[in-house]
Amino acid sequence: MASGFFALLDDIAAIMDDVAIMSKIAAKKTAGILGDDLAVNAEKASGFISSREIPVLWAIAKGSFVNKLIILPIAFLLSAFFPLAIVIILVLGGLFLAYEGAEKIYEYFFPHKHAAIEILAQDFTEAEILTLEKDKIKSAIVTDFILSVEIVIIALGTVIEESLTSQIAVVSIIAILATVGVYGIVALIVRMDELGFKLIGLSSKERSWSKTIGNILVQALPKVIKSLAVIGTIALILVAGGIFVHNIDFLHHLFPQLPSIVKEFGFGLIIGLLVLAIVNLFKKIIGKN
């Protein structure tokens, strides 16, 4: 009986080793999309007053966990019974990401009066701030949902030949690590200035290492946020273009001489602008009616 128990422990250890190895491979495969996810979510989580940054980020992170709880079982079922649906969902998600990226570029060149709303206490009442927060949180969670689908599908693709148990273990680990890792780093980014002010306050001397580092962090935050807005927009288009190129056979074989990043960005931008034009036309028709 004891030997059977230890044999069971050996089997469990072997399974855990296999899961760890497969998780490492899946993490490498999803590294690119995780970088894009980080850039997009950091840009989405910025623009709030200091006291509301962490509560808002926590709300988005909770929404991200809910997204993954919805996506994971559906992904496993579709992978087993209707794999074509995964491609359709990915492409539809890609259209949304491409549209969102193209809209940001369009608004940069042709800004609307409402396009650059920053949630500042002196500009809005408390009720208006909460309403704007809810809108931004909702937008961030929707974008996270699409990026989460891409992460889950890529991770699932690395273990598609394995048993269902291994698939569930590996993809679930990647999903959890993606959420904790991405939003943990985003939290550090948006709180850079607070850390900077604390470091400045540690020393009363005019020149000290804490004040130097603190000043660097405080001065760097606005530049980081602006950079993330640009990087996040590029990331949206690249992710969308990657979805189109890897899941639409015609686009995959088109322009084989181009570097993949140029090809993906080009298709993402072109298709995003087309979707934007269609949406704007539809809005005008609705407005007239």
* Tens-place pLDDT, residues 128-168: 667 777 888 888 888 888 778 877 877 776 676 667 777 78
Residue type, 211: K
Report the pLDDT averaged over residues 2-16. Answer: 40
This prediction has a pTM of 0.65
pLDDT at 10 over 50: no
* pLDDT score for 129: 67
**DSSP at 130:** H
Residue entry with tokens 């995964």? 86
Residue in 171, 254, 189 with CA at minimum distance from that of residue 227: 189
User: What average pLDDT does this structure show over 116-121?
Assistant: 46
User: pLDDT tens digits, residue range 186-211?
Assistant: 777 777 777 777 777 776 676 777 77
pLDDT score, position 272: 92
pLDDT over 70 (residue 219): yes
8 Å CB contact between 183 and 202: no
